[in-house]
Amino acid sequence: MRVDTMRQLDYWLGIPLTFIASLWVAVQDWFRNQASQEAPAIQRILFVELSEMGSTIIADPAMRRARDKLNAELYFVIFAKNRPSLELLDTVPRENVFTLREDNLFTLLWDSLRYLVWCRRNNIDTVIDLELFSRVSALLTGLSGAWRRVGFHSFNNEGLWRGFMLTHKVAYNAHQHVAKSFVALVYSLECETDEVPYAKIHISDDDIELAQVSVSEQAQAEMRQRIALLCPDQTLAHKRIVLINPNASELLPQRRWPKERYAELMRRLLARFDDIVILITGAPAEREEAEALKQQCNNERVINFAGGVKFAELPTLYTISTLMVTNDSGPGHFSAITPLKTFVLFGPETPTLYGSLGNSTPIWAGLACAPCVSASNHRKTPCSQPVCMTAISVEQVEYMVAFELSH
């Protein structure tokens, strides 16, 4: 389904369904209290994060904290198309991942029913909703049958209502990195006494440090050989690999820096550094656009590498590369689990909240209207002319990238 269709469903169907589900959950909890049933120990924690591939990387420190501090087995529910992002770090066992198809409303509803059975079959006792005020994820959390249900609650904020299904209500902090907000969700389960609101704790930068992947020498050599076959002289000897990712998801197309500026940046870098090879990366469906960008450069040291690697091979590509320039999108987060130096171009969102946790430098114009998308507006902006992206000049990006390449 299209992103706007998902937003409409979340609003028009989500609000009444969430209201009805809240009543059901309240009755369920009341019967549990009347029967004086004690909540089971925390053993199986289900994380809910559906729509953003990069968020699975950002949430990894929180998941590792839940596993290590609470000694819990981890589970995850996610849209099927985004599942590969979970497998980059494999913090959640692959057999513990449930996927929802979003092809159309029928498959989404059918998979949601299957999900309810799956939760009970696996005796899920705790659910942590990582989504920022999505009603779909609220329904999945509330109807899971879990005793403990953790998520962000609106409290006195307007426009963020999604029922009353949480047992642990955490205040969403729009002034700190979202990775710390995810850790706050887990912390609410560690508290010995109730807090209103959760979570009254200082979360340091060390608490959101990402795990790093290890790529074998053989895998690196094979990746270099694959790229070498596309080079004009069939060799990568003494050449450094620079990655350009000019794409961004359909969720927020305003995040894209103009293609002509990427072309100009590449031409300038190629003129300044004769020891670099530039790979234009992207999904297989973006290969045609990547080819058009390559043609604008008219240089044999530019390679159309869109669709050139499988998703699981991205850490290998990032490990052998020198640096990457990318829009604010998944690759900026996927590269964070490797040492790759990454320059991320921000516009309608802010690096304060969504900056990469890796070896990354954000480039952001910081206009008065930015960030214009947030949890409170369902990350939807009326802007059709993202000046926040065009305000980032080629000269600015070239200076920062060239400085890195020169040192």
CA gap 396, 321 in Å, rounded = 22
CATH C-level class of 217-406: alpha beta
Band (374; pLDDT cuts 50, 70, 90): confident
What is the enclosing helix (H) or strand (E) of 117? helix 105-121
**Residue 96 pLDDT:** 98
Angle, helix 135-142 to helix 3-12, in steps of 10 degrees: 60
Mean pLDDT (whole number) for 351-363: 96
CA gap 88, 71 in Å, rounded = 22
Show the tokens assigned to 327.
């829009």
359-366: list long-range contacts, CB under 8 Å, 24+ apart. Answer: 360/332, 360/335, 360/336, 361/400, 363/392, 363/396, 363/397, 363/400, 364/392, 365/389, 365/391, 365/392
Nearest to 241 by CA among 318, 170, 178: 318
Q: How many CB atoms are closer than 10 A to CB 53?
A: 23
Band (137; pLDDT cuts 50, 70, 90): very high
Show the tokens assigned to 15.
């609000």
The 8-class DSSP code of residue 41 comes to P
Bridge partners, residue 48, by sequence: 77, 129
CA gap 404, 328 in Å, rounded = 19
Domains of the chain by residue range: 3-208, 217-406
* Residue 282 near residue 290 (C-beta atoms within 8 A): yes
Our measurement of the distance from residue 302's CA atom to the centroid of its chain's CA atoms, rounded to an integer in Å, reads 28
Nearest to 146 by CA among 170, 122, 127: 127
The predicted-structure confidence for 71-92, as pLDDT tens digits, reads as follows 999 999 999 999 999 999 999 9
* Residue 45 near residue 72 (C-beta atoms within 8 A): yes
CATH superfamily ID and name for 3-208: Glycogen Phosphorylase B; (3.40.50.2000)
Collapsing DSSP to helix, strand or coil, 137 comes out as: helix
Band (58; pLDDT cuts 50, 70, 90): very high
Instruction: Say if strands 276-280 and 240-245 run parallel, antiparallel, or are unpaired.
Output: parallel
Residue 342 pLDDT exceeds 90: yes
Tokens 């998944």 correspond to 330
As a whole number, the mean pLDDT across the chain is: 93
Identical topology for domains 3-208 and 217-406: yes
**Residue 245 pLDDT:** 97
Bridge partners, residue 326, by sequence: 245, 344
